[in-house]
Structures are given as C-alpha cells and as structure tokens.
Structure 1
Amino acid sequence: MNKKLIDWPTFISALILLLAVSIPLAVFPKAGKVIVNMANSFVTGNFGVMYLIFGLAAFAFLIFVAFSKNGHIKLGDKHEDREFGTISWAAMLFAAGIGSSILYWGMIEWAHYYQGPPFGIEGGSKEAIQWAPAYGIFHWGPMAWAIYTLPSLPIAYFYYVRKKPVLKISEAVRPVLGKAVDTPLGNLIDVLFMFGLMGGAGTTLALGTPMIAQGVNEITGLPPNLATKTVIMLLCTAIFAVSAYSGLRRGIKVLSDINLWLAIFILAFIFVVGPTVFISETTFTSLGLILNNFFKMATWLEPFANVGGFTETGFPEAWTVFYWAWWLVYAPFVGLFVARISRGRTIQEMILGTIIYGTLGSVLFFGIMGNYGLHLQLTGTFDVVGYMNETSAQAAIIAILGHLPMAGIMVSLFTILAIIFLATTFDSSSYILAAVVQKEVQREPLRWNRLFWAFTLCLMPLVLMYVGDLKTLQTASIVAGFPVLFIMGLLTWSFMKASNEDLRASKGYEPPTIYINRREILQRTPERSQKQSTSESSEDVTPDK
C-alpha cells in the first residue's frame, strides 16, 4: 500500500462532501427532498438556457477541432500502436457512457413522450406518435456524446503528449489556472467532479436496480422488494469490484466485450423476430425528423409559457435540460475514461469515434427496443402506456419483453445484460475515482484504492435506497453539477492553449498525423523550460512506461 501516491486532501474532502449530503438526506429525508428539489427547480428553471447553449457549443467546437490541425495530433509516441482494438475501444467507451440506463430509457422513454409530447402537441395524437421515438434518440445522440468527449481532449493531451502521469480534472486546466491548481482551488475542482460522479452513479443505480429486480421476479418469482434489490446491488458491487481490481485489460475490457456481444445478440433477435419493417422505417423516419429539426430541438425552451395564450408543458426542463445536466455531471468521468483508453489514436479519431460509435449504439437501442414497444402499443397487442401508468416503468419493460418468442430466455438474457452494463459503468467509475485521488498514475491506480471506491460507490446509494430517497441524491448531483459548466469552459480553453503552443513550437511534422516531441520543444526553448520547471519539467519528458 503506497500511501505517498494518494492525494489525501482530495480523497478525504470527497468523502466528507458525500457524507455531508447523504447523511442529512438519510436522517431527514422529507425536509432534504424539499430543499434539493427547490434547488433543482431553481437551477433548471433559471439556467436551462445555459445548458442548451453549452450542448450546441460543445458539439460545434469538437467538429472544429476534429478537422483542424489540432485534431491530427497523435496521443502517444510516434510509432506507438493503439492500446485497444477499435471494437474493444468502442465497447468500453459505450458501456462507460450509458450503462444500464439505456436499457431502461431505450425501452420505455417513447411512452413518456407519447403521452406528454413536446411543442404543446396533444398527447396520444398522430403527431405525438411521430415525435415519441425520435426524441429519445436526440437526447442520447451526438449532443450527449459531444458533452462526454469535451473533457477527454485536455486530459488525453496532457497524459499522452505532455507525458504528465496524472489523471485529474484540475491538472487538465493548469495552462489556464497555473499555480492556482496547487491550491485548495484545484482540490475543489476535483472534489466537485467526484461528487457529481458519485451522484450520477446513484442515478444509474436508481434506474438499473429496480429494473433488474423486476427481471429477477419474472424469472424466479422473487418479489422485487428491498431485500431483492439489496442482493442485486451487492452482486453488482462484487462483479465490478473484481473487475476494477483486475484492471483495464483483464477486467473492464473483458466485461465490456461480453457486454457488447450480448447486447448485439438481444438487439438482433428483437429486430429479426419483431416487426422488422416497422422498426427499420420508424428508426429511419426518426433520424430524418431529428435532422430536419435539430436546432429546434436543441434550442427549444418555453419563454412564452403562461403568456399570450401559450401553455407551459415543462417538457424542456423535465427532459432536455435534465438530460444535458445529467450528461454534464458524468462528462468529466467519461472524458477521463475515454482519454485513458485512447493511447495511440489521434485526437480526431478519439472525437469522431466517440461521437459516432456512441450515437450509433444509442440509435440501435432506441430504434430497436423502443420501436418494438411502440409497435405493441399502436397495434393494440399490449397497452404499454396504460400498464406503465398502473404499475411502473420497470414492470412495463419486462412485460414488453414477455411478448417476444422464447420470452423466458430473453428476459433472462436482458437481466444478465443489465447486470453487466451496471457493473461495467461502475468498474469504470471506481477506476477513475481512484485515479483522481492519486498524485500519479503510470499504468493503473493502486488496487486497494480501486476497491475502496468500488464499495464507496455502492454504500451511499444502498443506504439511501432504504430510506426511499435515492432519487434525491440524483437530483442533488444534478444541482452540484452546475459548476461543471464553468469547469468545462476552462478545460476547452486549456486544451486549445496547450496544443496551439506546442504546435507553434514544433517543426518538421508531416500531415496527416502530427507527432509532437515535447523533449525537443523543451530543449529548443530553454527559457520556457525554466519557467515551467516547477509544474512540468521532469514529468513532461518522462517516457511512458
């Protein structure tokens, strides 16, 4: 146990903040819920436009970087191969980015839009039916993955190009904040990120655990009560703890690969035995609807609500603003993870690969699973919306699967997939949390550190689940994620500043791939090297081991 590697101020502060929020919510759940919901309404109601502006700006900025000179910079040494193959790389980033939540929302999100559509459309109308399968794809599409990708640029750049063996959000903004990163401000940035991630993980547990419990109930008859949910949560914790302990190659990569092929099988089965033509046409039509209304969907708020005859629906705040806030909370984590697994790729490959593969995966889940349920609704085979309103969304999801051929087998495979999805998200999360609280990460965070955060991720959601306030922690994390808006701005500025400085100082690179030799830059500019000696010097030129 190498305690000298641990950044104890960040480690302890993150734990204190989590306990300071979670314990009062557990002791005073009703009062805490009221306060947190008021804060959430204030943030989303008054600053919703900032979230939407940020989503568009992030997407536009990444497209610009991908096709600029900066996008051709290689993450790693000149002749270094990619650390992971494309399929495994795509599987890991997708599993980390969406988790079991996509099984929940991919199957049932359309039902919410069917009865509560956007733009003041009447619920259940023909127009509402057209928008129902499209809006989920939009919320989980390029904008979401752009928000995820943005933090990966400076983090990957400093880790693989400037050779700083540190995976911290605070370190990635050093070019802008300078020595202020070494003050409590740097710790605050990392702690806010960690709290947001732990709260976001609570959101995933809040959605995933009841859905898995419902699947277990269908298979075994065990009631989906607190005892069952506790066992499921502990089982998932054991899986991702072992995976996180094993590391990237033997743990997270293996789970992600299993996850990918099992997901492909389930999607292919539903597509083939289900209404294939309807699924294909509806998905294709939804993509056209999104492309034709992309900016309308990305900028729609309700400034005229309750005036001039307009009725407030609450749709933008309840869905688009919430989703952008949720992606924002998770973004530094996904960015850290994508950066860590992208050795040997160019920045362009990392940007386009994350956005394209992430969006493609989301389209498949929403297009196939969601439209299968929509077909049951429209043909009168099964009233999904009515059943969901009478029971729960989780029960409706399992009931939809029950209409497939070999229903028992498919429910079992779906439940297993949900468990693995939950585990892959959490082992990635614990890996990154462990990396953030270390002063240096040459290859892997310390094993005991990874295990500690694996169990910490489960502990507080488990406690809050017993007091019935897991959703309150989710809401609290969204509120706490508001400062991340400004941190993301610093990350963007930091990447452009650092990469442009190195490009100007580099000579002799040949497109299309730019390899930046930091050792040569520092040797050619001794004055600059002396100025940076306290923050970079030896670490910048340390070969990757």
Structure 2
Amino acid sequence: MKTRLIDWPTFIGALILLVAVTLPLILFPDAGKAFVADANSFMTGNFGVLYMIMGFVVFAFLLFVAFSKNGSIKLGDEGEKPEFNTFSWAAMLFAAGIGSSILYWAVIEWAYYYQGPPFGVTPESQEAIQWASAYGIFHWGPIAWAIYTLPALPIAYFYYVRKKPVLKVSEAVRPVLGNSVDGPLGTVIDVLFMFGLLGGAGTTLALGTPMIAEGVNSLTGIPANLGLKAFIMLLCTLIFAISSYSGLKRGIKVLSDINLWLALFILAFIFIFGPTRFISETTVNGLGILADNFFKMATWMEPFAGIGPFGETNFPESWTIFYWAWWLVYAPFVGLFVARISRGRTIRQMVLGTMIYGTIGCILFFGIMGNFGLYMQLTGSFDVVGFMDQNGAPATIIAIINQLPLAKFMVLAFTVLAIIFLATTFDSSSYILASVVQKSVEGEPMRWNRLFWAFALCLMPLALMFLGGLDTLQTASIVGGFPLIFIMVLLAWSFMRASNEDIRASDDYQSSTIHIERWKKKGKKRRRSALEVLEEKNKDEDDK
C-alpha cells in the first residue's frame, strides 16, 4: 500500500468529525435530534436569504462563464477528444448527482405541494394542482444543477489545464488563499466537504432504502422491517464497492449506462401505457408556469408571514431553502466527479451540458412519474393522498407503480432501478472521497482507499438506521454545510482569477509573437530593398 500518498490529516479529520457527530446521535438520540432540529430551524429561518441569493447568483454566474472567453478553454490538451462519449458522460453525471432520491421525490413530491401549496394558495384547489406540477421541476432544475456545476470549474481547470494532479476543493481555492491551503485551513475545507458528502449519503440511504424495501415487500411479501432494510443496504454496498473497485471506466461507467437505459425504459413505459395526453399537457403546462414565474419562485421568501393578518406557510424554509442547502452539501462532490469525467471538453460544454442534461433528466422523471400519480389522484383511480397519510411515502410510491399495466414486472424494474441508482451514487461518492484524501491522483485513486470509503459510507448510516437517526444525520449535514456558501464564493473567485491570468498571459504571448513576426518581415523587406537598390546601381554602371 502506498500510504505515503494519503493525506492523513484530511483522512483522519473526516472520520473524527463524522464519529463526533454520529456518536452523540447514537448515545443520546432524542436530545441529539432536538438539538439538530433547532440548529436547522435557526439556520434556515435566519440565513435562508443567503441560500436563496447563493442559488440565483450561481445560476447567473455560470451562464456568464459559459458564454464568455473563459468558456472556450479546453479541459485537456489542444485537439484532445472527450474521454467519454456524450451518452456515458451524461449518464454518469446524472446518476452521481441525483441517485435514487429522484425516484422517491419524482413520484410523490407533487402530493406535498398539492396539500400545502405556496403563495397562500388554497390546498387541493385547481391552482394548487398547477403549482404542484411545476415546483418539483423548479427545485430539481437549472439552479440545482448550477449549484452542482460551480465547484467543477476550478477543480477541472487546475486538474486538466494547469496539470495539478490533485482532486481537492482546497487546491481549487489556492489562487485566493495562496499557500495557506497547505496547512490546517486547507484540511478544514476538505474535511467540511467530506462531512457534507457523508451526511448527504445518509439522506440518500434514508430515502432509497425504505422505498426499495417496500418494492421487495410488494414482490415477495417479506415484511419491510429493519432486517430487510439492513440487507438491502449491505447489498447496495457490495454492488457499489465492486463498481468502485473496478474503476471509472470498467465499473462506474458501465453501471451508469445500465442505470440510464433502464430508467429510459421505465419512463417510456409509463408515458406510452399511462395517460399519455395528460402527462404531455401537464408537463408542458408546468414548464410554462416555471418559465413565467422563475424569478418569483427563485426569490420568494414570505417576508410578511406572521405580521398582522398575514399567515405563515413556512414553504420557502421547508422546500426551496432546504433543497438549495441539500444541493450545496452535495455540490463539491458532484463538482469533483463532473470535473474528473470532463476531460477533452471545453468549460462551456461542461457547464451547459451539466445544466441542460441534468435538468432535462429531472423534467422527464417529474413530468412522467409525477404526473402519472397526479392523474391517479384527480381521476379517483387511486387516492394517493389518503394512502400516503395512512401508510407513508415509500409504500405509496410502490402503490402508484402498482397501478401500471404488468404491475409486478414494473415494480421489479422500478426496484432494480432504485438499487442501481443508489449504487451509482455511492460508487461515485467513494471514488471522490478516495481522491480527496490522496496527495496525488494520477490515473485513479488506490483501490484499497476506494474500498475503505465505500464501506465507510454504509456503516455509519446503517448504525443510525437501527436507531431511527438517519433523518437527523441528514439535517446535521445540512447545518454543517453552511460554511460551504462562502467556499462557493472562493471557488468562483479562484476560477476567474486563474483563468483570466492565463488568458491574459496567452493574449500577451500571442501579441508579442505577432509583433516579432511582423518585425522579422519588415526586417527582411528592408534588407531585400537595399539589395535591390545595390543591384540596380551595379546594373546602371555596367550599362554605362
């Protein structure tokens, strides 16, 4: 084992922080849960506006970068082709960034908006239906993918343009913080990123595992108890450990391709054999509502709530701010992964590709799966809201899939897709965690390092699952991820400073080269003219 390549302060610091947060939740679950909930309410209630501003500014900044001179920079050598074809590239970034969470929320999120709509709209009204079909796409749309993409800019730039063989968030802010990132400050930045990712992984497991368990229960009759959920978690761990061990091209790429093809099959089946016209019209209508109200939705903070006669819904804190905080926790990981797989593309292709492909994928999931469930509710074919109130969201999701033709087969396909989605997220996570704790990543992180983080990602959430603390770990990671707002500013600043310096240097070099060439040409012309004059003089003398 080449342990000298390991950045031990970061490696040990991340584990210490995770244990320090997890142990109190295990030993004092009720008190820990109450403390984390209060901290989360304090953060979202008092600093929610920072999250809203961050989301909108990041979106605008990336559009500026994509269409500026900086967007033309090639990630790699001149003339180098992309390392992965567009399909595999899109499949990997989508699977890493979304995971099984989209199967959970795409099917059921509309039901929450339908019962508790924004802007003071009457619950379960026709207007509430309109917002229910649009808000999910908004929360999983361009701003979400912009937050994901920002960290990829400086990380990819230093890795492929300046040839720094390090995949670290701390390395990406070196142009602003200088050599201080080589000390404790850089370690703190990387540890905060890793803690956010480990906590975010707990969120994905908290959503995905019960849903998969309900799918297995529907197919086999095995009760969806803690034993089944633990088995599912260990099975997923084995799958993503093998994938991560196999590497980026033989493991993660293959699993992501399978994942995307299966997802497209399920979406096509629901679209064709479900209420095709309703799905089409409701999705287009939802996109129209989103386009018409994008700025309103991106800035709505409910400032008059609780003042005088104005009521309070807590919708921004419960949904938009929560989602922006969640994307922020995952952003450095997804950014690192997108940077790693984007060799051979330009900055513009990476930015627009991630935002466009990611958003299109989420539109398809929410538009098809979500509107299928909404159709069941509105036509009375299946009382989604009533069933969810009695049985919970995971069981309701499987019950909705059971309304399709070939129900058992579709539940099987859906459950397998959820397992693969969970595995693709975690193999990408373990790959990036292994990269961050290495001093140098030339090629791929060491295999033992990748395997260690594959199992570390599972063990803590597994322990908390038995104690009912997964949701608390998710909230703790979001609270702990608050400093990442300021790290995002540093990342944007670092990219602009480094890329602009190199662009100016390149322009100066080209300008000086052109000047030298012109000088040489003029010099040749002057020498040629003098020679011609001498020849003419000699010719005249000969004639005389």
| TM-score under structure 1 length normalisation | 0.93
Matched residue, 1:76? 76
Matched residue, 2:471? 471
Q: How does 1:70-109 map to 2 (within 5 A)?
A: 70-109=70-109
**What is the rounded CA distance, in whole Å, between the counterparts of 2:507 and 2:106 in structure 1?**
49
CA deviation vs aligned residue, 1:287-327 (integer Å, no higher than 9, x gap)? 00000000100001111111131100010000000000000
Matched residue, 1:516? none
Matched residue, 1:502? 502
CA deviation vs aligned residue, 1:481-523 (integer Å, no higher than 9, x gap)? 100000000000000000000000014999xxxxxxxxxxxxx
Matched residue, 1:205? 205
Q: How does 1:121-136 map to 2 (within 5 A)?
A: 121-136=121-136
Report the secondary structure of 1:343's partner residue: coil
Matched residue, 2:373? 373
**What is the rounded CA distance, in whole Å, between the counterparts of 1:308 and 1:500 in structure 2?**
51
1:22 aligns with 2:26: no
Q: How does 1:30-429 map to 2 (within 5 A)?
A: 30-429=30-429
CA deviation vs aligned residue, 1:347-397 (integer Å, no higher than 9, x gap)? 000000000000000000000000000000000000001100111101111
The residue identity in structure 2 corresponding to 1:28 is: F
The residue identity in structure 2 corresponding to 1:229 is: K
Report the secondary structure of 2:308's partner residue: coil
**What is the rounded CA distance, in whole Å, between the counterparts of 2:57 and 2:509 in structure 1?**
30
**What is the rounded CA distance, in whole Å, between the counterparts of 1:471 and 1:430 in structure 2?**
21
**What is the rounded CA distance, in whole Å, between the counterparts of 1:342 and 1:250 in structure 2?**
17
Q: Considering fraction of residues, name the structure with more helix.
A: 2
CA deviation vs aligned residue, 1:382-418 (integer Å, no higher than 9, x gap)? 0001100111101111010111000000000000000
The residue identity in structure 1 corresponding to 2:478 is: I
Report the secondary structure of 1:403's partner residue: coil
The residue identity in structure 2 corresponding to 1:31 is: A
Report the secondary structure of 1:35's partner residue: helix
CA apart distance, 1:79: 2.1
Matched residue, 2:10? 10
CA deviation vs aligned residue, 1:11-52 (integer Å, no higher than 9, x gap)? 000000000000110010000001000000000000000000
**What is the rounded CA distance, in whole Å, between the counterparts of 2:382 and 2:91 in structure 1?**
33
The residue identity in structure 2 corresponding to 1:506 is: S
The residue identity in structure 2 corresponding to 1:155 is: I
The residue identity in structure 1 corresponding to 2:99 is: G
CA apart distance, 1:478: 0.3
**What is the rounded CA distance, in whole Å, between the counterparts of 1:6 and 1:221 in structure 2?**
46
CA deviation vs aligned residue, 1:85-108 (integer Å, no higher than 9, x gap)? 000000000000000000000000
Q: Give the aligned CA root-mean-square deviation in angstroms.
A: 0.8
**What is the rounded CA distance, in whole Å, between the counterparts of 1:307 and 1:175 in structure 2?**
46
**What is the rounded CA distance, in whole Å, between the counterparts of 1:448 and 1:310 in structure 2?**
58
**What is the rounded CA distance, in whole Å, between the counterparts of 2:342 and 2:388 in structure 1?**
41
Q: How does 1:438-517 map to 2 (within 5 A)?
A: 438-507=438-507
The residue identity in structure 2 corresponding to 1:494 is: S
**What is the rounded CA distance, in whole Å, between the counterparts of 2:248 and 2:142 in structure 1?**
26
**What is the rounded CA distance, in whole Å, between the counterparts of 2:318 and 2:339 in structure 1?**
31
Provide structure 1 residue ranges, at least 5 long, that are not aligned to the other structure. Answer: 511-545
**What is the rounded CA distance, in whole Å, between the counterparts of 1:477 and 1:89 in structure 2?**
28
**What is the rounded CA distance, in whole Å, between the counterparts of 1:16 and 1:187 in structure 2?**
13
**What is the rounded CA distance, in whole Å, between the counterparts of 1:278 and 1:302 in structure 2?**
32
Provide structure 2 residue ranges, at least 5 long, that are not aligned to the other structure. Answer: 511-544
**What is the rounded CA distance, in whole Å, between the counterparts of 2:21 and 2:115 in structure 1?**
35
**What is the rounded CA distance, in whole Å, between the counterparts of 2:508 and 2:361 in structure 1?**
39
Report the secondary structure of 2:117's partner residue: coil
Larger Rg: 2
| TM-score under structure 2 length normalisation | 0.93
The residue identity in structure 2 corresponding to 1:437 is: V
CA apart distance, 1:141: 0.2
1:431 aligns with 2:427: no
The residue identity in structure 2 corresponding to 1:477 is: S
CA deviation vs aligned residue, 1:205-263 (integer Å, no higher than 9, x gap)? 00000000000000111100000000000000000000000000000000000000000
The residue identity in structure 1 corresponding to 2:419 is: I
The residue identity in structure 1 corresponding to 2:347 is: I
CA deviation vs aligned residue, 1:169-206 (integer Å, no higher than 9, x gap)? 00000000001101100000000000000000000000
The residue identity in structure 2 corresponding to 1:318 is: S
CA deviation vs aligned residue, 1:441-498 (integer Å, no higher than 9, x gap)? 0110000000000000000000000111110000000000100000000000000000
